[in-house]
Amino acid sequence: MKENAHNSHFLIFIMSGFTFHFKSFHQMLYMSMLTATVSTFCPTNARASWQS
């Protein structure tokens, strides 16, 4: 009984942490997709700016 309560509290802790970090994770995913799109459509510009 005590272990079940501890597991439920741990699950709530994980879910709250996931929802708390979901916005920052979504922003990071969006930024990575944006960077990939820019490098795909402008490979020469990205390569030149990376070399300089």
Q: What is the pTM of this model?
A: 0.36
Structural domain contains residue 32: yes
Give me the residue label for tokens 């708390």.
20
Structural domain contains residue 3: no
Whole domain around residue 33: which residue ranges? 23-52
Q: Number of structural domains, the chain? A: 1
Instruction: Work out the angle at residue 45's Cα, subtended by the Cα atoms of residues 40 and 47, and round it to the nearest 5 degrees.
Output: 80
What pLDDT shows up at residue 5?
67
Question: What tens digit of pLDDT does each residue of 8-47 get?
Answer: 888 877 777 777 667 777 788 888 888 888 878 766 665 6
Question: What tens digit of pLDDT does each residue of 4-16 get?
Answer: 666 788 887 777 7
How is the chain split among helix, strand and coil, in percent rounded to 5?
Answer: 95, 0, 5
Structural domain contains residue 33: yes
Structural domain contains residue 39: yes
Structural domain contains residue 5: no
Structural domain contains residue 4: no
Give me the residue label for tokens 């979901």.
22
